[in-house]
Amino acid sequence: MRPSAFVSAFVALFFLCVFVPAQNAKAPDGFVSLFNGRDLEGWDGNPQLWSVRDGAITGQTTAENPLKKNSFIIWRGGKVADFELRLQFRMEGGNTGIQYRSADRGGWVIQGYQADFDMAKRFAGILYEEGGRGILAKVGEKSTIGADGKIAVTGQTGDPEEIRKAIRDGDWNDYTILARGNRLEHRINGRTTVEVLDEQAEKRAMDGLLAFQVHVGPPMKIQFRNILLKVLP
């Protein structure tokens, strides 16, 4: 091989190793990747709001094109029931969340369980039910939703302020959601933000869709990458 050709091949290999999205790496045992790092294949959202940038699913709103209602990008690979979801998120402004075991209401509107978060960290990792019962557990809470719908706080997962401090502003953060039966758990950067037991049979969801949200209000940008799903037995 001529020296110039060798240099060109080396440079190409270097850029391939450095810049190929992490989604292309082998997933941990039992997990499958829900995002190819290149385009929105398998996902369904308003193309004016959702795109792929920096190897991440990106939702963005602007002052020139404000939202009239919350909008979602929906994973069309099927419903989830008992699962572990791992991903990374990075955001600029606003309030957003990860929908799971949720229902499609048409027009990119989703209702159901939401693993919430926002730039102010007020809702960091809470369990919220979009279009339903509202906040089901606040930051740092263990809660039980009774058969009558009343919520009882039964303990703490940790100090809410310490949970908030562990979230990196303007950088990538890890989010994990565990759902098994009527037990739900959220974690951000390894810290459990909520644990919930939902005993309200007529209101809880045992399966449904996954989706990501852009929220009404000030302009915002949210990105998701390394989206891995494991179905639990």
Q: Please, are residues 159 and 116 in contact by the beta-carbon 8 Å criterion? A: no
User: What CATH number does residue 190 fall under?
Assistant: 2.60.120.560
DSSP state of 24: G
**Confidence (pLDDT) at 66:** 87
**Confidence (pLDDT) at 189:** 98
Residue 24 pLDDT exceeds 50 = no
Q: Is 12 domain-assigned?
A: no
Q: Is 17 domain-assigned?
A: no
Domain that holds residue 80: 23-231
Query: How many distinct structural domains can be found in the chain?
Result: 1
The candidate with the shortest Cα–Cα distance to 162, out of 142, 144, 188, is 188
Q: Is 118 domain-assigned?
A: yes
Cα 205 off chain centre by: 18
The mean per-residue pLDDT over the stretch 157-164 comes to 96
Q: Is 229 exposed, middle or buried (0-12, 13-18, 19+ CB in 10 A)?
A: buried
**Confidence (pLDDT) at 2:** 46
Confidence band (pLDDT; 50, 70, 90) for 151? very high
Tell me: the pLDDT tens digits for 191-216?
999 999 999 999 999 999 999 999 99
Residue 5 pLDDT exceeds 70 = no
Residue 19 pLDDT exceeds 60 = no
The mean per-residue pLDDT over the stretch 153-162 comes to 97
Q: Is 7 domain-assigned?
A: no
**In one letter, which amino acid is 85?**
L
